[in-house]
Amino acid sequence: MAITYLKSADARPATENKDIRDIVAIMLANIAREGEAAARDYARKLDGWTGEIVLSEEARRAACARVPEDLKADIRFAQANIQRFAEAQKATMGECEVEVMPGLIAGQKQIPVSSAGCYVPGGRYSHIASALMTITTAKVAGVPHITAVSPTRAEIGIPDAIVFAMDLCGADLILNLGGVQGIAAMARGLFGGRPADILVGPGNSYVAEAKRMLFGEIGIDMFAGPTDSLVVADHTASAETVAWDLISQAEHGADSPVWLVTTDRALAEDVMARVPSVIDSLPAPNAGAARTAWAERAEVILCDTREEAARVADRYAPEHLQVQAEGLEWWLGRLTAYGSLFLGDGTTVAFGDKTSGPNHVLPTSGAARYTGGLSVHKFTKTVTWQRCNAAASHELALRTARISRVEGMEGHARAAELRLRPRPA
């Protein structure tokens, strides 16, 4: 068996950018030192925003009122699906209690974090769906306080549809802030917020770097890179559908890789022939991003068998993985490394990005090998507890003391042996 690259990537995304690291480090240090004044100054310099940072209740209501009713219905539809899926996830998170040995009871509890910061991108595209995905999931997890931020547009602030989505999902505080200053404001609890226990949501390279630098002090959902997508297809797939599914994801940005893995050469050649016209049919800014992504990041890989195709897909560990091939149950059971899986040509990554329910905040750059996407689990701490009676305490003390002395940890041994003393009646 062999694999053949009918199209190879011309370049790979840079894994490091010292300039971005340096800029973000300076910004975070300034905001840590100067607080709200520095955040306001960055908002003015970088986004041209001089209005209020905290979105008032009056402004929130006004923004929601300006959203057309048909768009509100679409947003409510998507939010309901996301909420239902998150609630189903939460139902799988059980607490337990077990008698590990006679007299020793141990268990686990599920405790939501106290506060979350949700970042909603708003640069070239207004990511309504990111507000739905992050805030709804935190709310279902039971997070008591949620702050949401998004980049402003000059003289407008956060677009009305994003405000409506934030409000619908239950954001407690909305800040007219984007970029590093938005991340820092949530981390520090500026402008009346609570310091975030976890920061979630996609963003540009500056936002991603700010989250990376704050990780440890604060939890984050994941280290995010450019979005990526892989389609596995066989002779049953439609070349037109495959081409659109690839280019719709390349539309995210010039650095967004898309990959086609197929067992059918004719399909691969048909897809590659169709891609230029698909790109040309997009609006100019979208077409420009997709054209560069296809030219520099895309790959088309021909495999001899479906098992070989599955191995290639697992090696790439894509953020999004679509299967347009026979035997969908086989693929579901076989594939092991992906952020989210889309089975059959009746679904598409676009559904997952916007409305279908499973979260679209997913691992990128191969991270799907070891982690999944955003879920109620990310907002929840699984903690353990234990208690024991006198008999169990005696047994544990003897064995703990002996193991501790072999390890050279005399303090541990003596702490254990204190439990051998008779307890007051």
Rounded Cα distance between 325 and 345, Å, is 8
- Residue 290 CB-density burial (10 A; 0-12 exposed, 13-18 middle, 19+ buried): buried
Rounded Cα distance between 365 and 188, Å, is 29
Q: Which residue has the tokens 């068998």?
A: 305
Q: Which amino acid is at 87?
A: E
Strand, helix or coil for residue 334 = helix
- Beta strand segments in 162-257, E: 173-175, 198-200, 219-220, 229-233
Helix axis angle for 36-47 and 179-188, nearest 10°, is 160
DSSP 423: P
β-strand pairing of 340-343 with 320-324: parallel
Rounded Cα distance between 399 and 252, Å, is 58
Rounded Cα distance between 1 and 303, Å, is 8
Rounded Cα distance between 115 and 381, Å, is 12
Supply 84's token pair. 């239902």
Supply 267's token pair. 């399909």
Strand, helix or coil for residue 110 = strand
Determine how many CB atoms are found less than 10 A away from the CB of residue 327: 13
CA distances from 85 to 92, 109, 253, 375 (A): 11, 22, 28, 9
Q: Which residues are catalytic?
A: 319-320
Rounded Cα distance between 191 and 299, Å, is 46
Do residues 262 and 300 lie in contact, with contact meaning Cβ atoms separated by under 8 Å? yes
